A and B are shown apart, each in its own frame.
Chain A
Amino acid sequence: MTAEPYADAVGLVERYAAAFVAGVPDQPADDGFFGPASVTWRLSADLSAPVAGLRSVLIQALHPLAMAGVDQHSEWRRDPVGRLAATSAYLATLAYGDRASASAAARRVRAIHEHVRGVDTVTGRPYAAGDPALLLWVHAALVDSVLAAVRMFGTPPSAADADRYVAEMAVSAELLGVPREIIPASVAAVEEYVAGVRPELRRTPAAAESMGYMLDPAGMGEEIAELWQDLRDAALAALPGWARDLYGYQEPPPVTPARQTEIRQVLGVFDAVFMGEPGVLEARQRLALRMRS
């Protein structure tokens, strides 16, 4: 595999915003797989979401086979922003779309996964993106990261709501082909599952390289790059120690209450910038009205 260099992360915020807007329907046929009363909707709108997203990618990339699939098949190097935006569009449709749109989006992802197969050059093991074991890892990393980020920097849910969230989210793994019976349905089950996978995790060269890029994306513009530093610090602070150790990242300074406030303020600025993108405010208002009624 020749390693192409990564393209610049131009338009990251803009494309993320467009993906979100596209995922929030105008006139949904039904409330979809979650709905306005769900914990999933509440946590998806939390200020800490960007930290969750970054932490989640960092953890997902530690699975050599998951990383190999991304590195060898997707447009990841040529269009990293497009790849991230596609994922975020999918997640938005899954969360907010009606059942038909969410199911259709999941079918499209499964069709793409059909073609993503190969052999990981580091471990020599074959992989397939449709492998329920890999899908489950990606799913668990996301769910775990949303909870870690919201606890550290957002408005934390009660323990019962955290369990509810994990249970609600099971359907998203199921839609991509993971058998329901192996999907963790509580916070404790997610933690147990992650602990069980840990022996397989490692920092492959592809993971080191792409996460180096994620933590300091080129071409974002000086201003957002400065804010990104805080986002990165927040994501690193929210990472479990074992994940930091695998990457060889230094332990970040402890998140004191003052530091927590600072990061929340940076996240607020991020949020304001995000809201400045076309359609985002209207999409949020549509969701807020549905959550009210």
Chain B
Amino acid sequence: MAALRLAARGGARYAGNAPRLFARAGEHRQQLRNDLALQTAEDVAATLGTMKGVLMKLGQMASYVDDGLSPAARRTLSRLQDSVPPMSQELAAAVVTEELGRPPEDVFATWDPQPIAAASIGQVHRAITRDGRAVAVKVQYPGIAETIEADLGNVALLRRMLKITAPAQDVDALLAELRERICEELDYRKEARNQQLFADFYDGHPTIHVPRIVPELSTRRVVTSDLADGARFAELAGWPTAERDLAAETIYRFVFRSLYQAHAFNGDPHPGNYLFHGGGRVTFLDFGLVKRFTAEEMRPLAAMVKHLCVDNDPEAFRRAMVQAGFLVPDAPVPTPVVVDHMAVFYDTVRERGPRTMTGEYASAVTRRFFDFRSPLAHYARIPRSYVILQRINLGLFALLGELSATADWRGIAEEIWPFVQGPPCTPMGAAEAGWRARRTVRAHAASLG
């Protein structure tokens, strides 16, 4: 039990085997327990009310700080996800009817009443639209939004569960960010907008595919997008190394291209959100947890990378850290110590040349992140806007480590970094350059038209 503290003082102790466990977290609820299907909104409330839905969401989002979870907390949160059965066919159809005005059999040319997957607070059905488009329809559990919103109101209890003993961790900021993100996820319209933003941005991309939204069939509790199929993360593990490396390269490009060019970050890099098609082509699913950054928020992040990895200017790096709010001003810590502490996060992009992401590296990053005894701990902060970015460190690296992916990460990063805009360093980079050129042409054409 000791357990619900999402980041515990013992965090580092659990970090050793965390990435593997994290990767498994995506396999939840693959087996839909239709025999236990929820039949009424009351069933939904009994299953996900009284804090359980909130805990489940926190559990999913805990990959922010996931590696700080004790095994008992991890088990509790993962069991919670297992404990949610799908909706009965009737209940799901009732939600669709309420949201789209007519029963699913009328709205769609074909409606598969059997859900194909569990979503975090809903489930996914296959359907074919009246104009012949194969779509995935995500349907939210009725009453879940109200339940979770009400439970999020109990800030005192959430604080107790989230209590973080790191001296400088700002529990209130973390809590505020988590609450805001969870609330956003309750409204599928937000997710639909975000997914369409990514779909538009990556339109025509050689390896990145984001299913398009069908806006007229998307509402607060129903979101309809193109149906995608492909290999799951677990299958990818059995593919040849070259294929795994290509898939990893695409995921890496997606994360940083989105961040630097679109100023958007999909905060849910968990393994269930990808479909793999070979040749590095990847479909990205689930945009419920997207954080968009302002130019002001992006600037110091980019400056930190630039000063440390390109200019090799430790003092400027430190100033950028302070400016971003990661470090209090005038901390009595020598700059070399600051750099030494932070360097691990940039380890893969300090130098050119192929490097293999490993589980050990992901663990080292995690341990450093939770190293509350470091000389920096008292002066380090995570500003609220950047809370979600920790999932790069704690999620993306764990994912790539799980794949033992090899690439010239620095070379790829240089292509993406706006302050470098390096030439393509891989075949995928070259293909992407072509896509970018076409994008620019299209953008010009649009502005002229």
**A227 CA / B76 CA spacing, docked (Å):** 15
Mask for A249-284, Cβ within 8 A of B = 1, else 0? 000000000000110111111011101100011001
Asked whether, in the complex, the Cβ of A281 is within 8 Å of the Cβ of B79, the reply is: yes
User: Which listed residue (A221, A281, A284) contacts B1, Cβ 8 A?
Assistant: A221
Indicate if A111 sits at the interface (CB-CB under 8 A).
Answer: no
Contact of A268 among B36, B50, B156, B160 (CB under 8 A): B50
CA gap between A265 and B35 in the complex, in Å: 27
Contact B3 A47 (CB under 8 A): no
Q: Establish whether residues A289 and B36, one from each chain, have CB atoms under 8 Å apart when the complex forms.
A: yes
Query: Inside 8 A of A74's CB, which chain B residues have their CB?
Result: none
CA distance A288 to B1 in the complex (A): 25
0/1 string, A70-111, CB within 8 A of B gives 1: 000000000000000000000000000000000000000000
Query: A272 contacts B52, CB within 8 Å?
Result: yes
A226 is an interface residue with CB less than 8 A from chain B? yes
Q: Which of B1, B3, B36 has the most CB of A within 10 A?
A: B1
Q: How far is the CA of A281 from the CA of B82 in the complex (A)?
A: 8
The CA-CA distance from A30 to B309 in the complex, in Å, is 71
A200 at the interface (CB under 8 A from B): no
- State how many angstroms separate the Cβ of B63 from the closest Cβ of chain A: 18
Alpha-carbon separation in the docked complex, A284 to B36 (Å): 11
* Complex Cα–Cα for A292 and B39 (A): 11
Q: Are B157 and A265 in contact (CB under 8 A)?
A: yes
Closest B-chain residue to A221, C-beta based? B2
A285 contacts across to B, CB distance below 8 A = 33, 36
In this assembly, does B154 line the interface, its C-beta being within 8 Å of a C-beta of chain A?
A: yes
CB contacts (< 8 Å) of B83 on chain A: these are 275, 281, 284
Contact B4 A223 (CB under 8 A): yes
How many B residues, CB 8 Å from partner? Answer: 28
Check: A197 CB closer than 8 A to any chain B CB. Answer: no
Interface residue? B142 (CB, 8 A): no
**Cross-chain contact of B52 among A222, A271, A289 (Cβ < 8 A):** A271
| B79 adjacent to A275 (CB under 8 Å) | yes
Residue with the greatest number of chain B CB neighbours at <10 A, chosen from A222, A269, A271: A269
CB distance from A253 to the nearest CB of B (A): 15
A13 interface residue per 8 A CB criterion: yes
Q: Shortest Cβ distance from B171 into chain A, in angstroms?
A: 15
Cα–Cα, bound, A292→B43 (Å): 13
- Bound-state CA distance A226–B83 (Å) is 25
Rounded to whole angstroms, the CA-CA distance of A289 and B34 in the bound complex is 11
Q: Is there an interface contact between A223 and B36, defined as CB atoms closer than 8 Å?
A: no
Q: Does B21 contact A (CB under 8 A)?
A: no
Interface residues of B in 156-191 (CB under 8 A from A): 156-157, 160-161
When chains A and B are docked, how far (Å) is the Cα of A282 from the Cα of B80?
12
Interface residues of B in 25-39 (CB under 8 A from A): 33, 35-36
Decide if B82 touches A269 in the complex (CB within 8 Å): no
Q: Is A224 an interface residue (CB 8 A)?
A: yes
| Given A13-B1, A223-B5, A281-B83: A267 in contact with B35 (beta carbons within 8 A) | no
A272 touches B51 (CB 8 A): yes
Q: How far is the CA of A188 from the CA of B62 in the complex (A)?
A: 49
CB-CB < 8 A to A292: which residues of B? 35-36
**CB <8 Å contact, A269 and B4:** yes
Closest A residue, CB atoms, query B49: A268
Which B residues lie within 8 Å of A280 (CB)? 79
The answer to whether B72 and A47 have CB atoms under 8 Å apart is: no
Residues of A within 8 A of B72 (CB): 276
Q: How far is the CB of B446 from chain A (nearest CB, A)?
A: 50
Q: Which residues 42-96 in B have Cβ within 8 Å of A in the complex?
A: 49-52, 55, 72, 75-77, 79-80, 82-83
Which of A's residues lie within 8 Å of B, judged by CB?
13, 47, 221-224, 226-227, 261-262, 264-269, 271-273, 275-276, 280-281, 284-285, 288-289, 292
18 contacts between A and B (CB under 8 A): A221-B1, A223-B4, A223-B5, A223-B160, A226-B160, A261-B154, A262-B156, A264-B50, A265-B50, A268-B50, A269-B50, A272-B51, A273-B4, A276-B1, A276-B75, A276-B77, A276-B80, A292-B35
| Top-8 shortest CB links A-B | A268-B50, A276-B76, A268-B51, A265-B51, A221-B2, A224-B1, A276-B79, A276-B75
